[in-house]
Homo-oligomer: A and B are copies of this chain.
């Protein structure tokens, strides 16, 4: 561990120039003579000089850093979104500060606070839990974009999400095209996204003249929730031939419920999930699903943020991305 970290002054002294010139050179200005530049680079590497980001961001009044707060790292779909964000951010030469809310609004709030103290230039919220009031407060302070939660209500924030209603309709359309009629829905609980998916399901069923076949079973966005909902569906006296489950994780649970009853997927019953998490594609699961373009959502969120940073007065935008059907082995023709 060397004594004290070398500063720009040390480099200047060693190279025999002024600190200002070193500053210029380090940032690759073209107003530096070739000789000076060479001497400076030489000195810098010799001292293994590393600019101090704190000092820089203080002087510059820009941190070149974006804050990303994610509801919960454990859900694999968030990880995929984050990857998208990071890629885009890197391209802009920015840096990312990533924190988790641990599914806890208090922690979430305080982490956001910390990010703001670090003078992040923008905030990406991935599936937050904050009350609208806090969001408004943030918005006054710092450009922000919200992912994966419909935020039509909140005026000032950019947001991006997939079209859950459309996606749900696609799931039903797919099952209908396979000849299914008694298509049940295992819901994702009481939250906006789940509601939209349920709504899409009902809409499409009705459009196909299957309104009388509509059947919703209460579930949740978890393995456990999917299992419960599917179990009730399967044990009912209605002979459902297909299940549209509110998300992929829940679909994994539903798969287990089917297996527990000695039934086969897709011969006895078809299953379609939602989200397109990589995991659902593993061969043991091979769940048909409505995929969100997760990485693209992350990337678009980041570029939206850069747009707003560039022009804080631009009107808030909402980007909707299209979900896409991925057919795997969990859905097949209706056999009754």
Q: Is the CB of B57 within 8 A of A282?
A: no
Q: Which of chain B's residues has its CB closest to A60's CB?
A: B54
A104-160 contacts to B (CB < 8 Å): 107, 113-114, 116-119, 140-141
A279 at the interface (CB under 8 A from B): yes
Known contacts A58-B52, A119-B54, A256-B282; is-contact A73 B82 (Cβ 8 Å): yes
A233-281 contacts to B (CB < 8 Å): 249, 252-253, 255-256, 259, 278-279
Tell me the dominant secondary structure on chain A's binding face.
helix
Q: A285-308: contact bitstring with B at CB < 8 Å (1 yes, 0 no)?
A: 110000000000000000000000
Q: Is the CB of A99 within 8 A of B96?
A: yes
A79 at the interface (CB under 8 A from B): yes
Contact of A284 among B58, B86, B99, B252 (CB under 8 A): B252
Q: Is the CB of B284 within 8 A of A140?
A: no
Alpha-carbon distance A57/B48, docked complex (angstroms): 21
Q: Which residues of B contact A83 (CB under 8 A)?
A: 73-74, 100, 102
Known contacts A74-B79, A79-B79, A279-B279; is-contact A116 B256 (Cβ 8 Å): no
Q: Which residues of B contact A32 (CB under 8 A)?
A: none
A320 at the interface (CB under 8 A from B): no
Contact of A140 among B1, B57, B119, B312 (CB under 8 A): B1
A97 at the interface (CB under 8 A from B): yes
Q: Which residues of B contact A48 (CB under 8 A)?
A: 141
Q: Which residues of B contact A286 (CB under 8 A)?
A: 256
Alpha-carbon distance A165/B55, docked complex (angstroms): 47
A223 at the interface (CB under 8 A from B): yes
Q: Is the CB of B253 within 8 A of A284?
A: yes
Contact of A76 among B58, B74, B96 (CB under 8 A): B74
A53 at the interface (CB under 8 A from B): yes
Alpha-carbon distance A259/B255, docked complex (angstroms): 14
Q: Which residues of B contact A187 (CB under 8 A)?
A: none
Q: Could you list which residues of chain A lie within 8 angstroms of chain B, going by C-beta atoms? A: 1-2, 48, 50-55, 57-58, 63, 73-74, 76, 79-80, 82-83, 86-87, 90, 95-100, 102, 107, 113-114, 116-119, 140-141, 223, 227, 249, 252-253, 255-256, 259, 278-279, 282-286, 312
| Extra 19 A-B pairs, beta carbons < 8 Å, given A52-B117, A90-B107 | A1-B312, A50-B116, A51-B117, A52-B58, A52-B119, A74-B278, A76-B76, A79-B79, A82-B100, A86-B100, A87-B102, A95-B99, A95-B118, A97-B97, A98-B98, A249-B282, A252-B284, A253-B282, A253-B284
Give 6 nearest A-B pairs by CB, closest first. Answer: A256-B283, A98-B98, A256-B284, A73-B79, A53-B117, A255-B284
